[in-house]
Amino acid sequence: MMNRRELLAMIGAAGLTPVATLARAGTDPAYIAARQNPDGTFSAVVLDGDGHDLFTDELDARGHDTAVSPDGRIAVMFARRPGRFAVVIDVRAGRRVAAFASPDDRHFYGHGFFGPDGRLLYATENDFEEERGVLGVYETTSWRRIGEIDTGAIGPHEAVLLSDGRTIAVANGGVATHPDYPRQKLNLPFMKPSVSYVDRETGDLLASTELPEFQKLSIRHVTEAGDGSVWIGGQYEGSLTDQVPLVGRHRPGEAIEMVDVPDDYASMGHYIGAMETSTDGRRIAASSPRGGHVMVFDASTRDLVYTLAAPDVCGLAPSEHDFLASDGAGDIWDGLEKWTSAPGRWDNHIAALRPATRT
């Protein structure tokens, strides 16, 4: 594992100047995240390139993750599971422009993404009466829900559109929940976590891969590396004394390859809270708010490159120094250095508002 000096030297030697697409300059909107304020209220916060608040939008309850339109202008922040609200923010105009809710018999899981042309938004949702996961499909002019796609399993937490613009990778946690029993997990002895691949245009389930050897590793987060492999992060629902891998890599048609770093998993509290890919596609980050660590892997070799220790750290976004990481103390880290501090607590995720360019 390399130290900070070696890390920065390697980043410079790699000639990663294209990350200037995310350069933090001026007062343009650069990042968005949910925050709990010191008075206990909740907000969506848009940050400029220097990490300062550009503006905030008050939320009725905790927010979770944000879907960003392909042009970076519109951000949709979803309620934390099992919430039903979503707010639409024009980040350049600096104001909320719409809000919508899931149907009465669905709730959001907190994640979503736009289609390539920005005309449709897809949100992970729970059909809690039928115990099945779906992607709600919303038209982005009226924000009307026009349909849904079955994810092929229970508990789709995060879903991402892969680089082909058509295939959706879904992290199905496999854990059944119901809003009448908030945060309770109703099927742990029988849970079946999986990664599924869904055709965005037809709604067809293209493939699904389970983890039979780690039946209680709930797959919650997913990100695509620059080489097209899909990385997953899980939250273990078994005994606290078990030693299990929490991060894996999957290539369609093959078995999931779990990443073996047992000593470092011990510091992750059986819980991966977010996954992210660096701008150049060569690094993968996994965070653990329960463990207070971020692990950064080489996407090609699966080697652990470095770790960051920060209490209650969870949010991840690509940055010019690999990754930003936000934590529950109100701090944001850039690589291994603290970047900014704000009053309050950052919630689980932070999203970059500028399109990333890979080399």
Say if CB 110 and CB 64 are below 8 A apart.
Answer: yes
Which band of pLDDT confidence, cut at 50, 70 and 90, is reported for residue 92?
very high
Q: Does 179 score more than 70 pLDDT?
A: yes
Per-residue pLDDT reduced to its tens digit, 306-318: 999 999 999 999 9
**Which amino acid is it at 131?**
E
Q: Distance between CA atoms of 252 and 17, rounded to whole angstroms?
A: 31
Looking at residue 2, its pLDDT comes to: 45
Inter-CA distances, 36 with 41, 76, 327, 338, Å: 6, 18, 11, 20
Q: How far is CA 280 from the centre of its chain?
A: 18
- For 26-50, what is the mean pLDDT? 94
Peptide bond into 82 cis (omega under 30): yes
Looking at residue 176, its pLDDT comes to: 83
Per-residue pLDDT reduced to its tens digit, 225-255: 999 999 999 999 999 899 999 999 999 889 9
Tell me the domain boundaries of the chain: 27-352
Looking at residue 188, its pLDDT comes to: 82
Which band of pLDDT confidence, cut at 50, 70 and 90, is reported for residue 26?
low
pTM: 0.90
| CB within 8 Å of 273: residues ≥ 6 apart | 221, 233, 287, 288, 289, 290, 314, 348
Nearest by Cα to 351 from 35, 19, 46: 46
Strand, coil or helix: 127: strand
**What value does the mean pLDDT of the chain take?**
90
Q: Does 205 score more than 80 pLDDT?
A: yes
Q: Distance between CA atoms of 205 and 181, rounded to whole angstroms?
A: 29
CATH topology of domain 27-352: Methylamine Dehydrogenase; Chain H (2.130.10)
Q: Does 9 score more than 90 pLDDT?
A: no
**Which amino acid is it at 338?**
K
Which band of pLDDT confidence, cut at 50, 70 and 90, is reported for residue 178?
confident
Neighbours of 141 (CB within 10 A): 8
